[in-house]
Each structure stands twice: as structure tokens, then as C-alpha cells.
Structure 1
């Protein structure tokens, strides 16, 4: 996407007047549509549509060996795939850098035990643990990828069920596990503290959230703020511009406030989803 100077001026003036080109105010999000339990072969899944941004997340689980330095913890890994159909910029190897950046940001945001307790994934100290693979597919890009990905990941982990290990038998180097074969004999992951990312863009003299693709082109700088349990877990600056210290403080305050609002709306939505329902819209 490319904007002429007149279009950029129009976007700028709208932000200054707190009336953006799609009718939103500066701290408003576009409508979201969330689906869970949509990938049959996954242990958990979710799909989030945020206007023209479309993200699919599937969670897989396997048995692995804990890291030697963290024998009581399981493993959590993120992989991002940028579909070539999402945007022409992803053709060839165009999306690889963005995919690595998003996966690294997620890994950093989930690193703290206060955010996600990996000890719950330990089966046998130093010998066996659950390893969770979170696969993220970017189907369409309409701006604000980080926020959409973080919400979809949290919803997919909420939907994930860990098989119940009934018994573990150790015979020398041989370890036998008995896993329950009952479909509903499993445990849910606790993701109430899982982070939500909020992208705060500086356009003109104002800060906005949930930038559209056009607004991202008008931004002089942006922060991706990851918030968990009222605390900042990671902060990433994107774009080529720099931010004044006062602007940085304003972005952090805005991101913290909006992240709490998103978290409350998401948890309320996930709790209300009935077993027979898998699609729901929120923040309309």
C-alpha cells in the first residue's frame, strides 16, 4: 500500500480531531471475530479476524526432555508462517524477518513464570515434560499484526487441553507413561496471566491503538507493549522513527490501559463460549 501526501494529511487531521478515517476514536479497536476449536487435529486452536487482519493459531503437544538448566519445566515454542496470499510483501521470502520478529516477541512475552507457568508441563523432573508448539499462520494483513496474533494465541492456549498422565514407571533409562485415552480426561492451561500485546502508534502529536494499514504508513514511530497481570512483560519499538521520552510515557500508559480492557473482554468472551458454539464477535 502507498499513500500520497494528501491522503497522509487526511489521516493526520482525523487523528488530531479524534475521529479516524473509519469513524473510530484514538483508543478504539476495530470489530473482532473470534473462533475456537476449529482445527480438528490440534490440541487447541483459534482464528481471529480483526477487520482485514486474519490470524489462525493451532497448538500441538508432544512429550520431550526438559532443558538441563530447567529440569522442572516444560517447553513452549512459537512458529509464525506468513502466507504469500496475505500481502504481496510476503511473496518469496518477504515475510521471514517479520515472522522471526513476531515469534521472538511472543517468546519474550511468555518467558516469565508469572505469565505462563511452565512447571505445570513437567511430567517427571529432568526426564519427561510436555512440549507445546504454537503454530501461527498469517492469512491476511490489514494492519496491527502483533495485537491480533497475541489475542489469537491466548485464545488458542485457552482452548488447549493437556492429556492426563495416569502413571509413570521408571526402569533404569526406560520410562513408561500411561496416558488417559478418555477424550474429556484432560486438564486446561491457565492462561489468565498470558500477555496481550498492544501496538501504540504516534501520528502527529497523538497516540492511537489498533492502527490500520494506512495509519501504519503515517506513523512516525510505534511501540508494541506486552502487558500481563498489570505488568509490562516486553516492550518493542517498531518503525524507523524515534519517540520523545514524554511520548514514550504516554504510549506506555495508553498501552497498559487498553491491554487491561482487551484482557477483560477476551476472558469474558471465552468463558461465555458454549461447547456447541465456536464463533463469537466482541469489541463491536
Structure 2
């Protein structure tokens, strides 16, 4: 994970400000930085999005391919995640550093989406036990200025929103075999319902308080963080603690409640802006909002 060097004087300044609910950049403890979203930014994908959060930038591309359902769930499709950390984002991503972080983020994404609350995986089934849609979600971390998990989750939700999967027509030949034909009409497609797709909220414990959307400098002052994925209804699909420090039970409860509150508040403006921009018919919608 990318880090920043912070002097003792800077740490004291940051800690005292957070104690008074006033951060270095003027935000409150539960405020996001300005976020900018672009969709349909990669031409050779079925859906894509780029999210810029402060100086953190994440690009997500989604490809839909026909595959075989998993034996235990023959009537569902599934998602596959791959995270690549660009060495241009920070020198710490060079070599094994970027690989380890990419694996860590992709493992978290599997936990976030491996439940019935996130995506209607049954809608990705073509023929039970035989064919289904597999969504390959490729995440590229372009720039790093803290809060990679949150930016990645928003980018995935925006990319899924823009994803268009060709409509499948199944016919039976003379010998009883099934033939699959994909529609060539770009408007004859299936869309993914993303309302329930969770957003990740990362809360960093700094001093006796916690902050949302921490910068690298604030992260350097944090003892531990709690990663929470929350649906628009406030359902928590994944909770994970990161960092070398410890969190007492009272802090975990407070941070979880704050994460649910912030996460629910994040969904509504995000969905409203995505729907608004699509209604305008822009090829590459761009929206900016304050979380």
C-alpha cells in the first residue's frame, strides 16, 4: 500500500484538527473529497468507468463472456476480478508491491460481491447447468492518493451500470442440441440492475476519532482502518479490518454505524447522476459530485 512520510509536527497538527472535526483540507470527518466519474471510456469493453477521487484515479473495464456455471450454483452467472496496480501511480507499486496490493483488493471484492444482496446473478444465467454470462471485471489503479477501496467500488458500480450484454437467443436443432445466437442489434441488450451493488466505505481510526476518505497523510497517522461494504438499504455485505493497530469493540461499533450511514448517503446521488447523464445520451458521461 502506498504511504506518505509525515513528520511528528504534522501528525500533531492532523490529530488536533480531526479531534475538532476539521481536517487539513477543510472537510469534516465524514466528508468525501470531490469525486469525478466518467462512463463508457474504454471502447473494446461491454462497460467501463473511470473514477477520480482527489488525486486517486481508478479505471474499470468489464467484458461479458459466455461460460459454464459453477457446479454448486448451476442457475447463476458470476463475476471474476483482476486488479492491476500501475507502477506510474507510485514507485511502491513496482514489482511485488503492486501484485500484493492487487491480490488484496481483488480478494476483498470477491467477499463484497459473494452474496445475494449485491448482484442478481440469476439474471446472468443463459441455460441452467450449461451456459451463463461471466463478467470479467478488470481494475487498473492509475493514481494513488489514498482510499483505493472506495474509489474502486464506485468505479465498479458505474461500470456495471454502463454494461450492455447482448441478448441471447436459444434454438434447438434437428438433433435436439441447443444453438446459442447473440443479437447483433446494439439496442437489443440486457442491462444489469446495480441498485443493490454495494459501495465500500473505508474508515480510518485517527486518535480518538475516525475519518472517511483519508488522504495518504491522514493514513500515516492512523492505527487501523475498517473497510465496510454497504448497499443502498444499509445492508453490510463485508467488513474487514486492516492495519497493524487494534480497534476496541466500542470503536468498531461506532465505525460500523458511521460506515452504514455514509454508505447509504453515497448511493442516492451516485445513481441519480448516472441515470441523469445516461438520459442525456452522452457517449462519455462525466459527472462530478461531493460525497
Category of TM-score, reference length = shorter chain = over 0.9
**TM-score, with length taken from structure 2:** 0.95
Task: Show the counterpart of 1:149.
Answer: 152
Task: Show the counterpart of 1:281.
Answer: 288
Aligned residues: 284
**1:114 shift after superposition:** 2.1
Q: Secondary structure at the match of 2:97?
A: coil
1:252 paired to 2:256: yes
- 1:41-190 equivalent positions in 2, closer than 5 A: 41-169=44-172, 175-190=178-193
Q: Secondary structure at the match of 1:233?
A: strand
Task: Show the counterpart of 1:10.
Answer: 13
Q: Secondary structure at the match of 1:77?
A: strand
Q: Secondary structure at the match of 2:185?
A: coil
Alpha-carbon distance in structure 2 between the residues aligned to 1:265 and 1:142: 23
Task: Show the counterpart of 1:243.
Answer: 247
Among 24, 28, 37, the alignment partner of 2:27 is 24
User: Residue by residue, what CA displacement relative to the aligned partner does 1:20-75 show, whole Å, maximum 9, x if unpaired?
Assistant: 00010101100000000110110000000001100000000111111111110112
Q: Secondary structure at the match of 1:178?
A: strand
**1:110 shift after superposition:** 0.7
Alpha-carbon distance in structure 2 between the residues aligned to 1:175 and 1:30: 51
Alpha-carbon distance in structure 2 between the residues aligned to 1:173 and 1:93: 51
Alpha-carbon distance in structure 2 between the residues aligned to 1:252 and 1:51: 24
1:265 paired to 2:269: yes
Bigger mean CA offset, 23-32 vs 167-176? 167-176
Q: Which runs of 5+ in 1 are unaligned?
A: none
**TM-score, with length taken from structure 1:** 0.97
Alpha-carbon distance in structure 1 between the residues aligned to 2:103 and 2:176: 37
What is the RMSD of the two structures over their aligned residues, measured on CA atoms?
1.3
Task: Show the counterpart of 2:209.
Answer: 206
Note if contact 2:117-2:237 (Cα within 8 Å) is conserved in structure 1. no
**Pair 1:170–1:220, CA change in 2 (3 A):** farther
